[in-house]
Structure formats: structure tokens, C-alpha cells
Structure 1
Amino acid sequence: MAMSKALRDAMNDQIKHELYSAYLYLSMAAYFEALNLPGFAHWMRVQAREEVGHAMKFFDHLCDRGERVVLQAIEQPPADFPSPQEVFAQALQHERRVTGLIRNLYQIAVQENDPSSLPLLHWFLEEQVEEEKSVEQILEALRRIGENGAGLVMMDRELARREAE
């Protein structure tokens, strides 16, 4: 069954959004490297790799369906942030935006009667619950410790333990 133009275009657009997410998280990693917080940087690098994997899921789905992947320009992410807490506040805002994009894709698939895309989009909806939760937990911990040097160092060590999925 062929994919509708509306869904194909939306999935191609989502590839761009997922790759932008990777760029954003790499930029955040660079910020943390500059602050000498290697654990925070590591967490963001793992997140960036995960986002590239998400883009590839859409890429592969389009290819598997015989659709053309058309890559789009990726916007430059911000390079400077006011604080580690603000980095995670922006990451949470970004993940919530991505959740909205995935929900929109799901609605397009339903409207276009494309049941073959629904399992992929359902997986992404579940993934977004995890994404938002993990960022929210880190943000809440940062709010509790504030800009406390000792707390930040302890949290840096904790984030360094994140393993790639």
C-alpha cells in the first residue's frame, strides 16, 4: 500500500526534526564540555546518538515502503546557555515539542488510513514519554541542588553512568 503524500512529507520533515534534536543535544554537550562537566556532556552525547537513531527509524520506514527520502536543511542550534538548569529546561521544552510533532504524525497516519505506519508512530509516542520523564527528573534534581558546586559534581558523576540504548 502506497503512502500518501501528506504522510510522506510529514515523515521527511520529522527526519529533519530528529536530526535537529541530535544537533541541539550535541551543542548542549559542547556547552557542558566547556564547563568541565564531562558527565553532563556524556549524557547529552548519548542523547544525540539516540536522536540520530530516531531519524534513521523514519528513514528506514520510508525506504521500506518504497518512498523517497528527501533530506532537508537543519537549523543551527543555540551554542550558549545561561546555566545547566536552563539547558535541561530547554531540553524538556524541546522534547515536549517533539511529542507534539509525533502526535501530529500519528493523526495524519490515521486520517490517511495508513495502518502500516501506526506501530512505528506508537513506538515513538511511548519513547517520548520516556524522553520527557528522564529530562524532567534531571531538571528537578538541578532545581533542588541549584548551582551548588558539590551537588553539581555529584550529579555530573551520576550522569556519566548513562549507557547507550
Structure 2
Amino acid sequence: MTAAKPIQHRESKFHNLLQQQIRNEFTAAQQYIAVAVWFDNNDLPRLAALFYRQAVEERNHGMMIVGYLMDNDVKPHIPGIDQVRNDFGETRELVALALEQEREVTREIETLARTAREEGDYLGEQFMQWFLKEQVEEVSQMSTLLNVVDRAKGNLFHVEDHLARESVGDHDTDATAPRVAGGHL
């Protein structure tokens, strides 16, 4: 009887981009914490809660990538993060930053999916499908929030009411989501 050999995965461009994406996701999490703290410090509890949840979600995305790499015998590297912005003037500025951050992450995820396909990494391509779907939701959510902020014309109680009424960001764990190394927070 022959012992089963583990699948040998070569380190690829896709895997290298995944390693970079861990940093991007953790940086996004920290940026959302900075945004949440600004809202919290300005007595806007619904906006603060939304961005605290977003921070945890981004952290979980990074840990999904860590889990995927470990599951595929690729050693993950846990990076430091890039500098985050902490000084803001007004609410629109924060939400516009969040929207641009989600658009940038979408471009990064598209690059990952394209690279996996180009390299014939069918497992990697399948892994990225959930993230593509997630980014459509994230960009849509931040676009809507920016529209609500603009329509509120400076009355942030209208934005807070919208968040309370619409339960923005309050969704259950997606059963189709990739495994989060260490578990969801």
C-alpha cells in the first residue's frame, strides 16, 4: 500500500497577490476602525456601529485568505499594515473614503480572480467568486450610504434614522463564505 502524497502547490503569482491582499484587508479593517471611532467620538452611534462591524468583516476577509493559503499548503505571511487616515472634517468625507476603499478592494479582487484564471488555478478562481459577490454588496452599501448622507444635507439624525430603519450592515453569517482561520469574530 502506497502512502498518499500531499498535493504540492507551487507558489504562484496568484498566491503572492493573496499574500498582499491580506495586508490590504487588515489595512481596510484598521481604516474602518478609525472611521468608526470618529463617528463614535461625534455621538453618531449608528454610523459608528456600522463601521465597527465593517472593520470586523474586513479582518475576517483577511483571515479567510489566511485559511485558504493554509488549506492549500502555502505558508501565509501576516504583514504589518499601511498608514490609515484619522483626521476628517465631515461625514461625507468619511463615507466617500469608505466607498473609494471598497472600489479599490473590488479592483484588487478582480485582479486576483483574473490571475487565478490566467494561471489555470481553478481552486483559486473558485475561492475568489465569493469575494467578487461580496464586493458588489460592499460597493452598493457604501454608494447608498453616500447618497443618504448627501440627501440629509448635513442633518446626520436623518442618516442615523436611515441606518436604524434599514438595518444596514446587519446580516447573518453567509453559509457560503470561505472558512475564517481562527473563526469568525
Question: The TM-score by the shorter chain falls in which range?
Answer: over 0.9
Match of 1:30 among 17, 30, 37: 37
Normalised by the length of structure 1, the TM-score is: 0.92
Structure index of larger Rg: 2
How far apart in 2 are the matches of 1:156 and 1:10?
A: 35
How far apart in 2 are the matches of 1:149 and 1:56?
A: 34
Match of 2:116 among 85, 109, 114: 109
- Across the two proteins, how many residue pairs are aligned to each other? 165
* CA offsets 1:97-121 (integer angstroms, 9 cap, x no match): 0000001111111121100111110
Deviation at 1:41, TM superposition (A): 0.4
Higher share in helix: 1
Does 2:161 match 1:154? Answer: yes
Q: Partner of 2:98 in structure 1?
A: 91
Gaps of 5+ in 2: 1-6, 173-185
Q: Partner of 2:52 in structure 1?
A: 45
What is the SS of the residue equivalent to 2:122? coil
What is the SS of the residue equivalent to 2:120? coil
Q: Highest relative contact order (Cα 8 Å, sep 6+), 1 or 2? A: 1
Q: Answer whether contact 1:29 1:44 (CA < 8 A) is retained.
A: yes
Match of 1:6 among 2, 13, 24: 13
List structure 1 runs of 4+ shifted beyond 3 angstroms: 155-162
Structure-to-structure mapping, 1:122-141, within 5 angstroms: 122-141=129-148
Does 2:107 match 1:100? Answer: yes
What is the SS of the residue equivalent to 1:129? helix
Q: Answer whether contact 1:39 1:159 (CA < 8 A) is retained.
A: no
Query: Taking structure 1 as reference, are residues 38 and 150 closer, same or farther at Cα in structure 2, changes over 3 Å only?
Result: closer
Q: Answer whether contact 2:148 2:159 (CA < 8 A) is retained.
A: no
Give percent identity, aligned residues only.
Answer: 28
Q: Answer whether contact 1:43 1:159 (CA < 8 A) is retained.
A: no
Gaps of 5+ in 1: none
Deviation at 1:163, TM superposition (A): 2.5
Equivalent residue letter for 1:78 = R
Deviation at 1:155, TM superposition (A): 3.7
Match of 2:88 among 60, 81, 85: 81
How far apart in 2 are the matches of 1:158 and 1:115?
A: 41
Tell me which moved more, 53-62 or 155-164. 155-164
Normalised by the length of structure 2, the TM-score is: 0.83
